[in-house]
Chains A and B, each alone.
Chain A
Amino acid sequence: MTTSKKTSSRAACALLAAVLGMGTTPAWSGAGQPGHGHDAAPAQGHMMGGQGMPGQMMGTQGMPGHHGAAPAIGGPGKAADVTRTIDITMQDNFYEPAEIAVKAGETVHFKIVNKGTLLHEFGLGTAAMHAAHQKEMMVMMEHGMIEADRVNHERMKMSHGPGQMAMSHSHGADQGSVLVEPGKSAEIIWKFPKEATLEFACNVPGHYESGMMGPIRIK
């Protein structure tokens, strides 16, 4: 784990695709998830090359970081406030480092690289949020939106069958979660709250259960 005072001149970019055909949100969406003003399609932290998703580029600073009545897990931070960079390596199926310690209220720049052969997520949240998110990602996998080693952007954009609502997603650097394909990398700038019981986790089906999660200690 390396930490440095160096701040990235570049805020993490999030690709936001408008989700088509939004209907009601699935029952499990919102169960302990941060309420967000809009449902963002997965925003791979600017590393998903060549997929040409429709949507607009937005900097994370421009995001309304409003998190409703959800547990306080913090929110997107400003590049200028970053006091530390933490490198996260994702392997099949574990993180290096295995745990993270941050200071209360600190803004941290996470640089995440996937050195495994499978698709992985780096997500910040409470255990309950991760549990809800696992159900969501299981459905995403069943619908072919994510595969074992890639995100299927076409399927991500499709709504599934007549009368079905499109999936809502809670991936995006602005929401403290990135999906990273093998060999790719991503970044998140996150401002942590004063206190919270948080975990970083991969909610790709089976990965959290295999132990691909770790505690975030706020001191």
Chain B
Amino acid sequence: MRRLMLAALAAILLAPATARAGTYDLTIGTAAINVAGKDQTAMTINGSIPGPVLRFKEGEDLVINVTNTLAEDTSIHWHGLILPYQQDGVPGISFPGIKPGETFTYRFPAQQAGTYWYHSHSGMQEAVGMYGALVIEPKAREPFRYDREHVIVLSDWHPDDSPHKILSNLKMSADYYNYQKRTLSTFVDDAGKMGLGAALADRMDWGDMRMLPSDIADVSGYVFLANGRNTEQNWTGLFKPGERVRLRFINAAAMTFFDVRIPGLKMTVVQADGNNVRPVPVDEFRIAVAETYDVIVRPTEDKAYAVLAESMARTGFARATLAPRMGMAGDIPANRPKQYLTMADMGMAHGDMAGMAGMDHGTMGQGATHTMPDGSTMAGTRHEGQGMTHAMPDGTTMKGESHAGHSMPAQPTHTMPDGATMAGMDHSAHGAPASGDKADPFYAPGSGLMPKAAEGGKFLSYADLKAIKPLYPDRPAAREIEVRLTGNMERYVWSINGVKYSDAEPIRLKFGERVRFKFVNETMMTHPMHLHGMWQILDNGSGKYNPAKHTISIAPGKTVEADIEADAEGEWAFHCHLMYHMATGMFRKVVVERETAEAVR
């Protein structure tokens, strides 16, 4: 017996070392879909929305033949995958794109495991259906167990306007889709709540900024989909009571952030952006555009559970159902009340991890001026706390001291726009999972976007994400690159450091260096920033256990830092994953190059 095994082992060892290949053929075309009460044309991969779930094993070669039957160029980008840059699928950066009638073969080894996805990187094809899930099974045992799994791809579909029409509407009027303008009657309500003076001051501040305090989303009117089905079509995943079910959530929406919950079930987050994290039991989590989260649930009852993905702007749900049998549906509750942005979301508080001060209307003239999205400057914020960088009107930056790893003075209070004070966060328990509805340090104190679990309990924070096995040894970054997220709402132009893609030089990284990206969100929108080809190691205060992500979402008025190990030579895309922000210039090319004698000369 033993001898036989040895012989078999020898045979394995002597076999030529060729990785097996997982091969898929994908056809890009169009198909009629009906998710909004009428037949409409979508761009599809193998005829469906989403495209097929592509499954591979870690270590094998991916071979994917993509045939373009459209009348326009197309491409597929493998979101979150580590690969040679020529295989990354970004027209104009990685390759020329795939011409009509052409078949392009992607071929690269699977160097990682986890839940990822793929989508078109041409024009705005992604917004009309060109996306799908990609799952790589790991070689090693995962740090969790499950009996079955379901992929849940969340997305948005606009029933009225094509992406090009949406973009031209936004260009014409940035608040074209803002159905939630505050009216005289809400002013009267506010005056009742805040007092007339405060309500007036608040309105005037918003007016000065030429912004609307309700702009949580730039585009409304969407139908939300789970695995390509609307709420009525009710995509259903089966389970047997008592089974552990792994749900692989992917946000493939063009513009929509979702808050995900399953009433009656605790979810345990085990993976973020494909990388294992220490398990976090939560009641709800927010998934930014392009992120993925894997959760384990254990439904024990013989009944239907609703998987609810509510848009962050509270305009509707994507709903799927987990059920013991087909034909059941989980209940859809009413939308939560609309959320409005607050003064805290105006970018007044460029806080870091430690959550900084809000505005103090009583003290004008101290502190830095802020460059507002429309180019005007606004003075008069008082900052408690240190370690902030302010963009000065002349474009220079003024640095405070670095805060990494410091704890804040205990419990600073923040003066809110309405004159109320709000206790600051207690950071003494830094690293402990926050319970209940403690303020999330990744949102400005008093932010209208502050997450709160619908039914009480724990809402996942970035602060909870800790790598199980860090991908890289921890080391200090050699240098810092400031990535200011900027935009002009009036003209609907989005940019990085005030410069749009077409006018910008690439960001150059030296092969092998570790660089810190310091994201400073100077706009009122949340931006999920995606770097191709390399991980962004999010600094959430976990030191060597900081989680590696491909997409990091930065809330208004926040500064978030992440380290990049520049270990992938080539030319890569780096952009906000909101479709219309990317399309109007919030995009950079990142070049990773070896230092040659010529370059050093």
Contact B279 A206, beta carbon cutoff 8 Å: yes
**In the complex, A207→B278 CA distance in Å?**
9
Contact B433 A209, beta carbon cutoff 8 Å: no
Which of A105-113, A139-147, A162-170, A189-197 sits within the interface? Answer: A139-147
How many Å from the CB of A47 to the closest CB on chain B? 22
Q: Could you pull out 18 A-B pairs where Cβ atoms are within 8 angstroms?
A: A92-B143, A92-B468, A93-B143, A118-B468, A138-B281, A138-B435, A141-B432, A142-B429, A144-B432, A206-B270, A206-B278, A206-B280, A206-B281, A207-B279, A209-B279, A210-B270, A210-B296, A211-B146
**In the complex, A147→B296 CA distance in Å?**
22
| B466 interface neighbour in A143, A144, A148, A209, Cβ under 8 Å | A148
| B279 interface neighbour in A142, A144, A205, Cβ under 8 Å | A205
14 additional A-B pairs beyond A144-B429, A205-B280, A205-B281, beta carbons within 8 Å, are A91-B141, A92-B143, A94-B145, A141-B433, A143-B432, A144-B432, A148-B278, A148-B466, A205-B279, A206-B270, A209-B281, A210-B143, A210-B145, A211-B145
Contact B141 A147, beta carbon cutoff 8 Å: no
Is the C-beta of B171 less than 8 angstroms from some C-beta in chain A?
A: no
Is the C-beta of A117 less than 8 angstroms from some C-beta in chain B?
A: yes
Is the C-beta of B321 less than 8 angstroms from some C-beta in chain A?
A: no
Is the C-beta of B427 less than 8 angstroms from some C-beta in chain A?
A: no
Chain B interface mostly? loop
**In the complex, A22→B279 CA distance in Å?**
31
The total of chain A residues at the interface (CB under 8 A) is 20
Contact with B along A9-41 (1 / 0, CB 8 A): 000000000000000000000000000000000
Contact A210 B279, beta carbon cutoff 8 Å: yes
**In the complex, A54→B319 CA distance in Å?**
54
Contact with A along B135-164 (1 / 0, CB 8 A): 000000101111000000000000000000
**In the complex, A55→B270 CA distance in Å?**
38
**In the complex, A206→B279 CA distance in Å?**
5
Q: Which B residues are CB-close (under 8 A) to A117? A: 468-469
Q: Which A residues are CB-close (under 8 A) to B268? A: 206, 209-210
**In the complex, A94→B468 CA distance in Å?**
13
Q: Which A residues are CB-close (under 8 A) to B99? A: none
Contact A211 B278, beta carbon cutoff 8 Å: no
Chain A interface mostly? loop
Q: Which single residue of chain B is at the shortest CB-CB distance from A116?
A: B143
- In the complex, the 9 A-B pairs of residues with the closest C-beta atoms, listed nearest first: A211-B145, A206-B279, A210-B144, A209-B268, A210-B279, A92-B143, A93-B143, A142-B435, A206-B281
Assign chain B's interface to a size class: 20 to 34
Contact A142 B432, beta carbon cutoff 8 Å: yes
Q: Which A residues are CB-close (under 8 A) to B143? A: 91-94, 210
Q: Which A residues are CB-close (under 8 A) to B279? A: 93, 205-207, 209-210
Is the C-beta of B244 less than 8 angstroms from some C-beta in chain A?
A: yes
**In the complex, A93→B144 CA distance in Å?**
6
Q: Which A residues are CB-close (under 8 A) to B296? A: 209-211
How many Å from the CB of B416 to the closest CB on chain A? 26
**In the complex, A1→B146 CA distance in Å?**
23
CB contacts under 8 Å to A, within B298-321, are 298
**In the complex, A205→B279 CA distance in Å?**
7
Q: Which A residues are CB-close (under 8 A) to B466? A: 148
Q: Which A residues are CB-close (under 8 A) to B144? A: 93-94, 210-211
**In the complex, A117→B468 CA distance in Å?**
8
Q: Which B residues are CB-close (under 8 A) to A93? A: 143-144, 279
Q: Which A residues are CB-close (under 8 A) to B266? A: 209
Is the C-beta of B431 less than 8 angstroms from some C-beta in chain A?
A: yes
How many Å from the CB of B410 to the closest CB on chain A? 14
CB contacts under 8 Å to B, within A113-138, are 117-118, 138
How many Å from the CB of B441 to the closest CB on chain A? 16
How many Å from the CB of A168 to the closest CB on chain B? 18
Q: Which single residue of chain B is at the shortest CB-CB distance from A98?
A: B145
Q: Which A residues are CB-close (under 8 A) to B281? A: 138, 205-206, 209
Contact with B along A187-219 (1 / 0, CB 8 A): 000000000000000000111011110000000
Q: Which A residues are CB-close (under 8 A) to B244? A: 211
Contact with B along A76-99 (1 / 0, CB 8 A): 000000000000000111100000
Contact B468 A209, beta carbon cutoff 8 Å: no
**In the complex, A142→B281 CA distance in Å?**
13
**In the complex, A210→B144 CA distance in Å?**
5
Contact with A along B434-455 (1 / 0, CB 8 A): 0100000000000000000000
How many Å from the CB of A146 to the closest CB on chain B? 10
**In the complex, A118→B268 CA distance in Å?**
17
**In the complex, A118→B469 CA distance in Å?**
11
**In the complex, A207→B145 CA distance in Å?**
10
**In the complex, A117→B433 CA distance in Å?**
18
**In the complex, A205→B280 CA distance in Å?**
7
Contact A142 B433, beta carbon cutoff 8 Å: yes
Q: Which B residues are CB-close (under 8 A) to A148? A: 278, 431, 466
**In the complex, A59→B143 CA distance in Å?**
35
**In the complex, A211→B270 CA distance in Å?**
11
**In the complex, A93→B269 CA distance in Å?**
13
Contact B435 A94, beta carbon cutoff 8 Å: no
Q: Which B residues are CB-close (under 8 A) to A94? A: 141, 143-145
**In the complex, A207→B143 CA distance in Å?**
9
Contact with A along B209-247 (1 / 0, CB 8 A): 000000000000000000000000000000000001000
Q: Which single residue of chain A is at the shortest CB-CB distance from B429?
A: A144
Q: Which single residue of chain A is at the shortest CB-CB distance from B244?
A: A211
**In the complex, A138→B296 CA distance in Å?**
18
* Listed residue (A91, A143, A144, A211) with the most chain B CB atoms within 10 angstroms of its CB: A211
